[in-house]
């Protein structure tokens, strides 16, 4: 092989499968070339940390009233124009402050938080896209379980199946964003529907993992009753008892269109309830 051919490595963790050479960073802005391989350069680099209620993840039917030490880094492999956390998810290491927190240090911080407040039950990987540094999710999970702590994942789920296989055994609860139910919509967001469906199926099959799913309703994009019905029908084939969160879009980042009408969110939740018993609404007043 030529020198050029040997100086390129494939990432392989998500459908983009970035091919990178020395000094190059992937689409996610978090993985890059290092010593002939593509590595998670954002591993352990924390941009955001807070103690959040379990319900904020959102998880409606897992350890209600408990708290999680939530952490996020930078980068994402999707480009949703409405991203709520674009300040960390759509930037790289030089664009946002971060600090190094090893997996062991994060677990120790969580133990200290639990000693101050017994409601703290574990760690949540959230805010940006955690699975672009899936190795950190795995390593934290292994240490967390050894300390009697839960390991929680909030993700877009747009990764290859082998990544989910790696992290599933150390994830106690997860909420996966199912952004819509057409490949066209996912192309608009910069992802791949089939990969997300595979992630949901794999986590649902993990006995020790509690799984919930969120769909953010964006006006004129994924707000038809027909699409919601197909989405809910598919989820019912995966697990009829799964909890679906139907949530309201608000203008953010590149999108200035008005927020989703409250009535649309409620109506689509009703459509989903025709096939799923556990459907909740988010970011809207209760009826």
Q: Report yes or no: 166 and 138 within 8 Å, Cβ to Cβ.
A: yes
**Does the domain spanning 44-282 belong to CATH 3.20.20.70?**
yes
pLDDT in tens, 214-231: 999 999 999 999 999 999
**Long-range contacts of the stretch 12-21 (C-beta < 8 A, 24+):** 12/38, 12/160, 13/131, 13/132, 13/134, 13/159, 13/160, 13/163, 14/77, 14/131, 14/132, 14/158, 14/159, 14/160, 14/163, 14/195, 15/158, 15/160, 15/191, 15/192, 15/195, 16/77
Average pLDDT in the 89-102 region? 98
Q: Flag whether pLDDT at 1 surpasses 80.
A: no
Q: Flag whether pLDDT at 280 surpasses 60.
A: yes
Could you give the CA distance from residue 237 to residue 271 in angstroms, rounded to a whole number?
16
Q: Where are the domains of the chain?
A: 44-282
**Confidence label for 6 from pLDDT (cuts 50, 70 and 90):** low
pLDDT in tens, 203-217: 999 999 999 999 999
Instruction: Report pLDDT for 2.
Output: 42
Residue where the block lists tokens 């940006």: 128
């Amino acid at each position: 092989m030529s020198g050029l051919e040997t100086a390129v490595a494939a990432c392989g963790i998500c459908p983009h499968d970035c091919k990178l050479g020395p000094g190059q960073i992937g689409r996610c802005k978090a993985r890059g070339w290092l010593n002939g391989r593509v590595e998670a350069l954002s591993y352990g680099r924390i941009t955001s940390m807070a103690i959040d209620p379990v319900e904020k993840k959102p998880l409606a039917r897992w350890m209600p009233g408990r708290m999680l030490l939530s952490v996020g880094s930078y980068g994402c492999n999707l480009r949703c124009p409405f991203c709520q956390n674009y300040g960390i998810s759509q930037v790289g290491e030089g664009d946002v402050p971060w600090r190094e927190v090893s997996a062991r240090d994060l677990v120790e911080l969580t133990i200290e938080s639990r000693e101050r407040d017994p409601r703290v039950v574990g760690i949540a990987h959230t805010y940006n896209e955690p699975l672009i540094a899936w190795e950190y999710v795995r390593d934290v999970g292994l240490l967390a379980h050894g300390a009697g702590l839960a390991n929680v994942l909030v993700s877009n789920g747009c990764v290859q199946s082998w990544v989910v296989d790696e992290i599933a055994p150390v994830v106690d609860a997860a909420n996966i964003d199912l952004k819509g139910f057409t490949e066209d919509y996912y192309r608009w967001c910069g992802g791949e529907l089939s990969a997300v469906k595979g992630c949901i199926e794999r986590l649902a099959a993990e006995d020790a993992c509690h799984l919930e799913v969120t769909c953010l309703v964006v006006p004129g994009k994924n707000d038809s009753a027909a699409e919601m019905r197909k989405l809910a029908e598919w989820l019912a084939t995966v697990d009829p008892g799964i909890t679906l969160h139907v949530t309201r879009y608000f203008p953010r980042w590149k999108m200035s269109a008005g927020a989703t009408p409250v009535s649309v969110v409620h109506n689509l939740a009703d459509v989903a309830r025709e096939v799923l018993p556990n459907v909740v609404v988010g970011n809207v007043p209760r009826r």
